[in-house]
Structure 1
């Protein structure tokens, strides 16, 4: 527990110890909730509009009413960053279908208000991440998640299990594999680099539509780096020149090993290093 952390709950800014949610909240009993994580650098929010747009899409796909406008969300994010003095870190946002007063598989009446929670996490090394210098190791894991991974729900049990599988195998993360092809990482999008081209799975219900992914691919194309959106196999990853992941809390993170086999020279390559610098530079320009 962070003794002095202020969180947001349903219209109130509260010390975290005073923030209480019902045991009947559908986010608790059914994982009937969506979330977003927005990075904070230099006290400002990165890719904020992208996160709001994806939040609205996730809520729409689950028919959960969006109780807050973009402007209200921005005000809350900024207020929490200021109150908690976050120079570099994250803001977590979760909206559940709310508390119907009892447990029932059927959705509650439309007048049940959604539950809105936000909190901050201070991270001192988002930009200067030590792992960005060495790269991370991943293992391949069968993708046993549900079929709507494009909706950013709080159903994160299997990704959490996969993170533990990776740790137990002496790796940093896992790449999910479906029908022989890599889908994505446990909480990130996956890429390989071959002959100067970035290769990553195309958007569909199989993967999360990453906000960092969208921004990075735009910057890469503007920098005349070719992007190919197609499925790739674990074997292709092993034979790639480079590999990397993207996510709101990792930006661009080189991957140097998969299933014990080194990728490229076993060290972060020039494309991943350049893309990380490019993303941080451009994201800072657009921070709010």
Structure 2
């Protein structure tokens, strides 16, 4: 069964969907994206994803109006047409198509929007990921806070990690951890404090990250948003990642070193439980 996808206001069978070879997302990764999960037909943190989409578009000066209600209607129609209850919706907005030129003129370009569904989230509902990771030197551009489609370095890094027999990698810059290849990274120190890097240009403001921090504070878990080192990670009692598709998932080892006792920790499991409860309520 092929998917129904959405491209610039029209619906297509996925085999018939097309965008221009001159689209700037193809030539310059001049585009932004969001991935929103849905469970039982309901979207998780939808407003947070829309807010971040608007911020990313503004940061790249892509002139595209995002109407929250219109986008929600399209999301709902997309999962309806594909007959899905659980999964994710990927959306991408590029600056548009034009002759290849490093200098762009927004007045001559019409942004391109497309959206499609995926079902990979289902496996993370049935079985919680338990990750082994390696550390890798940060090599991405300096504005990682913008959710652009410049993902080649992360793709190369995650593929390298898999070749090394682990699940993912966490980036290190100037001695401090930033984030994993496609998720935010946390540790729980020996005093039970949840620690993650503060928001700046070096990491993506993850929607799930923000919800997890809010839930932690509301439920008596001490939180620190600050720089932390690889040595602190090795010595931590727990480590975890958060993302739209993984929710909160334990990291069992980094660079072959067990984190804590090498098993999912109590704080991680509590946060995952709180997040799933939050999802069901909202």
TM-score interval, smaller chain: over 0.9
Choose from 98, 102, 107 the match for 2:104. Answer: 107
Aligned to 1:118: 115
Q: Are 1:193 and 2:204 an aligned pair?
A: no
Choose from 18, 21, 24 the match for 2:22. Answer: 24
Aligned to 1:147: 142
Q: Distance in 2 between matches of 1:126 and 1:88?
A: 11
Choose from 133, 138, 143 the match for 1:138. Answer: 133
Choose from 29, 32, 35 the match for 1:34. Answer: 32
Gaps of 5+ in 2: none
Do 1:36 and 1:55's aligned partners in 2 also have CA atoms closer than 8 Å?
Answer: yes
Aligned to 1:202: 198
1:35-91: per-residue Cα shift (whole Å, max 9, x none)? 000011111110000000000000000000123311111011111111111211110
Q: Are 1:179 and 2:174 an aligned pair?
A: yes
Deviation at 1:111? 4.8
Aligned to 1:77: 75
SS of alignment partner, residue 98 of structure 1 = coil
Aligned to 1:166: 161
Q: Are 1:274 and 2:270 an aligned pair?
A: yes
With normalisation by structure 2, the TM-score equals 0.97
SS of alignment partner, residue 63 of structure 2 = coil
Gaps of 5+ in 1: none
Deviation at 1:125? 2.1
Aligned to 2:11: 13
Q: Which aligned segments of 4 or more residues in structure 1 are displaced greater than 3 angstroms? A: none
Do 1:46 and 1:284's aligned partners in 2 also have CA atoms closer than 8 Å?
Answer: no
Do 1:89 and 1:126's aligned partners in 2 also have CA atoms closer than 8 Å?
Answer: no
Q: Distance in 1 between matches of 2:169 and 2:223?
A: 23
SS of alignment partner, residue 56 of structure 1 = helix
SS of alignment partner, residue 77 of structure 2 = helix
Q: Are 1:252 and 2:248 an aligned pair?
A: yes
Q: Distance in 2 between matches of 1:240 and 1:215?
A: 22
Q: Distance in 2 between matches of 1:193 and 1:48?
A: 28
Do 1:67 and 1:114's aligned partners in 2 also have CA atoms closer than 8 Å?
Answer: no
Q: Distance in 2 between matches of 1:112 and 1:284?
A: 41
With normalisation by structure 1, the TM-score equals 0.95
